[in-house]
Copies of this chain bind each other. A is one copy, B any other.
Amino acid sequence: MPSPSLPPTLYYGGDYNPEQWPESLWPEDIRLMRRAGVNLVSVGIFSWARIQPSEGVFDFEWLDRLLDLLAKNDIKVCLATATASPPPWLTRAYPGVLPVDVNGVTLYPGSRQHYSPSSPDYRRLAGDLVRAIAQRYGKHPSLVAWHINNEYSCHLLECHNEASTVAFREWLRARYGSIDALNAAWGTTFWSQIYRDWNEVFTPRRAPYHSNPTQWLDFRRFTSDAFLECYRMEAAILREVTPDIPISTNFMAFHRPLDHFKWAREVDFTAWDSYPDPLDEAEGRHWAAIGHDITRSLRPDRPWVLMEQAPSAVNWRPVNRPKRPGLMRLHSLQAVARGADGILFFQWRASKAGAEKFHSALVPHVPVDDSRVFREVEALGAELQRLSPVAGSLPPQRRIAILFDWENWWACDLESKPGKTDCVAWVRRIHRWFYERNYAVDFVHPSASLQDYALVVAPMLYLLRKDDASNLDHYVRDGGTLLVTYFSGIVDENEHIVLGGYPAHLRSLLGLWVEEWCPYPADRGNAFRFSNESEAHDCHTWCDLLHAESAEVLADYTGDFFAGRAAFTRNSHGSGHAYYLGTEPGEAGLSAVMERVCGAAKVAPVWQTPPEVEATLRESATGRFLFLINHGDRTATVSLGTHRGTHLGTGTAVRDTIDLASLDVAVIALQ
């Protein structure tokens, strides 16, 4: 059965929580939605307590009236399953639902997400709720999609309660089959940890010192799977009742607890909640872009949905700056530029009570007719209608892949490493280098097919399965260009060292082996120099001490006790080339490395633009769309070369060059 998809259009709207307001206000909401061009709202995300006053009893009448009102006004609904925050009666009746932290502290109701994903009572009652909602609204004309739960594990990164302990044992039994296999995988001969019985195993609660790292790694896998089982339980009910309605849940991009590549197989479209900090626009523009790229990469065959963003300030940072005029439109169109077909917000109407009342909303606390934010909301709604030709189009096939693997992230974050191993920070730096130059990149799992990519980058793939190492080997052998960086290929899926000279499974591919590492604290570092160049580039954080075998040395270290030894190499392997970077360079050194690698792989930017203008493309059977976004504070001029097109926002024809004011965005349908 093919996966159902969203009808192609540009969606505009947000979370709508009318239960917080008297029903008499609803008509005003609808009137303002229509005025703003809203065509999709997410309803019911936190409505469990309202829908189900006690076990077995449901009150849907208010929701009937609401959905009918929306349907009558042609506003579609992404209907939540309402399972994100269990009502007080539930946790009172079933206190075993409450999560417990690593210290044994029970987390109480009063906030949200106060449920153990492994609790059988939670799952049973959540299932009852989902079935009741699906059966009641499965055929409602307003329904276009299901919104399962909400931001899984956002605030509950792990749970150690009794239900989780029992479920962890079951999960381990399923993974390993025998306790001996668990002992082998966890290396329990170390520190006298040999288990004789499944019931001796616990989640990694507070211990006197470093806990077993594989226990932690498996607990991270288990936690992702425990939440995924909750999702699957809901999805199974929905697919049974409404097989044609697409299903999703809102991700949070680089959110550590969930293995998103595994999760993405289960959603009909991807969605994420993007909250760049307006206090740092330069950082925020890349923070959003990389989140858009990973979200798109998880399900690259379909447009994705920006499920939440803030119209202006949020409420949860220490200092919550509002978005200055134009910034909300820019953020929104940047998402469309990177493949989004939906621009939704948290939330429609600003709460007057509760923990998020100072989170901005489409309808603010102040009268809408006097509100700058609402004026920008209206204008964007109108503009999105003019951009509707873009709907359904996709970014063109990428030629560059960055390998990313949540299990590697978990492994890098385990304790007791040689030095700082913040793989995500390093991935962000590399992505940003591409981003700032308008190279289009995918994020790809190391097990995925790589044959369509001209360049593959593997930054700190510390945990690398043997099969994935072979995947890289074949890719290069078949003519690919690969860049591997320091501290890759060190451990297998159990976080055991792969012996034989690091990174053993990549040794012939890279033509080298690493003998030692020299990590650096923040206030120290080294430098490296390319052959035949006089100037050295600084590097920091880490230096591999490597031995080139078949690899050619392109640059060597200039300092410390290993001065003169190789820092950056190239190895011919089959029809391709494998580069290896044994350190983390500063900005200039990184550019020197990346330019060589990009040159060798013959990859090019999407468009040539001035420094602060971001450019992307989307394509469909009916058109090709160039997005130009001026993040700078001054007007910028972009050359269109020989291209001509139509500026969809203004409807005017463009050719030769186009001027973009500060924060302006142009979407050009190319001829």
Contact = CB atoms under 8 A, between A and B. Distances in A.
A124 interface: no
Interface string A54-96: 1000000000000000000000000000101111110010000
Contacts of A111: 191, 207-212
B318 A419 contact: yes
B191 A85 contact: yes
Contacts of A53: 194, 196
Contact of A352 (B202, B351, B499): B499
Interface in A541-566: 547, 560-561
Interface string A180-205: 00000011111111111101111011
Interface of chain A, main secondary structure: loop
Interface in A362-393: 365-367, 370-373
Most buried by B among A84, A88, A199, A495: A88
A263 to B, nearest CB: 20
A434 interface: no
Interface stretch (A464-472, A514-522, A591-599, A613-621): A514-522
Interface in A502-558: 502, 513-521, 547
A316 B494 contact: no
Contacts of A54: 196
A324 B561 contact: yes
A354 B187 contact: yes
A48 B501 contact: no
Interface stretch (A237-245, A287-295, A298-306, A410-418): A410-418
A606 interface: no
Interface in A144-172: 154-156
Given A418-B313, A500-B367, A518-B322, A20 B112 contact: no
Interface size class of A (residues with CB under 8 A): 35 or more
Contact of A320 (B86, B190, B192, B519): B519
B358 A416 contact: yes
A156 to B, nearest CB: 5
Interface stretch (A6-14, A102-110, A397-405): A102-110
A295 to B, nearest CB: 23
Interface in A471-508: 494-497, 499-502
Contacts of A190: 17, 20, 46, 351, 353-356
Nearest to A312: B516
B192 A105 contact: no
A105 B103 contact: yes
A91 to B, nearest CB: 8
A501 B370 contact: yes
A156 B108 contact: no
Given A494-B353, A502-B366, A192 B108 contact: no
Nearest to A358: B418
A112 B418 contact: no
A105 B102 CA distance: 10
A332 B167 CA distance: 49
A35 to B, nearest CB: 19
A282 interface: no
Given A82-B192, A213-B353, A319-B420, 20 more contacts: A48-B192, A49-B189, A49-B192, A50-B192, A85-B191, A87-B192, A88-B195, A109-B200, A110-B204, A187-B353, A190-B355, A212-B355, A313-B418, A313-B516, A319-B519, A352-B496, A352-B499, A356-B416, A358-B417, A366-B515
Closest 5 CB pairs of A and B: A187-B353, A190-B354, A111-B207, A88-B200, A85-B192
6 contacts: A49-B193, A50-B194, A103-B103, A103-B105, A190-B354, A357-B497
